Amino acid sequence: MFESAIEKALQFTRPLHTITRTYGGLIMPGSSTVFFVNNQGVAITCKHVAQLIPGAENLNQSYANFRDERNKLSKDAKYKRNLQGLELKYKFNKESSIQLKNNFINCFDKIEQITVHTHAELDLSILVFKGFNEIKYQTHATFIKDSNRVKQGRYLCRLGFPFPEYSNFKHDVDKDDIEWTQTGVANSPAFPIDGIITRLTATAQGQEVTGIEMSTPGLRGQSGGPLFDPEGNVYGMQFATRHLHLGFDIRDKEIVQNGEKKKVSNFPFLHVGLCVHVDRIKDFLRQHQVEFHEK
């Protein structure tokens, strides 16, 4: 049912690849999603995704300062104690994130600047890319014009990049830096997930509708991805997953497994996806005078 719609959405939906390095030396890949609303280099995503952009700059600068101070320490008997003092100053421990690098995949030939507009209340941001010569996405999203189509039971699909399978990064020991490389796997597959609208949500009782709840979860990495119908028209943007306790709890139930009696407990939850409502997205785009398209 969604074959053509997914192909259409893939023309304007793109992954954001991220690598994070801890002070203990672990490098962790992560992914999220953006989608473009016009042919002028403007996309939307979640606020918590957009925060990775200034977050990377701040984190990397902090570690660069630490590294400069560390390199000035005398390699004498007091080095270890002085290094511990420096780690305490910067609040670094083994699990601390010290570097973060972002890579917008197949969006432009180059990016010189990204202007970020964040919504005051909703998990929503506009990304305005600047300094490119070539656009590499093929088309833009088309939002539904009549939001009365957003009703309980409507069957929709979300698209994003939840499983970071790329490996084109490394730690350069000589530079003490993480970087993207030309070797390894550079892409991660897109992953769609379908569901029906279960409820509409608002920030407070009696206020305007801000969100769409879906019967299936939004997966990690799909944040910022579009919610669309079988024609590829956009109804919203995935931003979170809510966990609803079902109350069908089982405590110390005796079962037989592989010929052996065991006691098990289970506390089931229903995981439902949350999407920013199409009207709130369009309101925010109008506020910032961003061109978008409706149908």
SS3 283: helix
- CATH code: domain 3-287 is 2.40.10.120
**Average of pLDDT values for 8-32?**
97
Res. 203 pLDDT band, cuts 50 70 90: confident
Give domain limits for the chain: 3-287
**Average of pLDDT values for 52-75?**
95
pLDDT in tens, 97-140: 999 999 999 999 999 999 999 999 999 999 999 999 999 999 99
The pair of three-digit structure tokens given for residue 196, joined into one six-digit string: 């029906």
The secondary structure of residue 149, as a DSSP letter, is: G
Residue 207: per-residue pLDDT: 81
Res. 179 pLDDT band, cuts 50 70 90: very high
Specify the pTM: 0.92
> Is the predicted pLDDT of residue 42 greater than 70, yes or no?
yes
Res. 38 pLDDT band, cuts 50 70 90: very high
CA distances to 43, 55, 141, 258, 275 from 291, in Å? 11, 27, 11, 62, 21
Q: What percent of the chain has pLDDT over 90?
A: 96
CB atoms within 10 A of CB 93: 10
Rounded to an integer, what distance in angstroms lies between the CA atom of residue 205 and that of residue 111?
42
Residue 63: per-residue pLDDT: 96
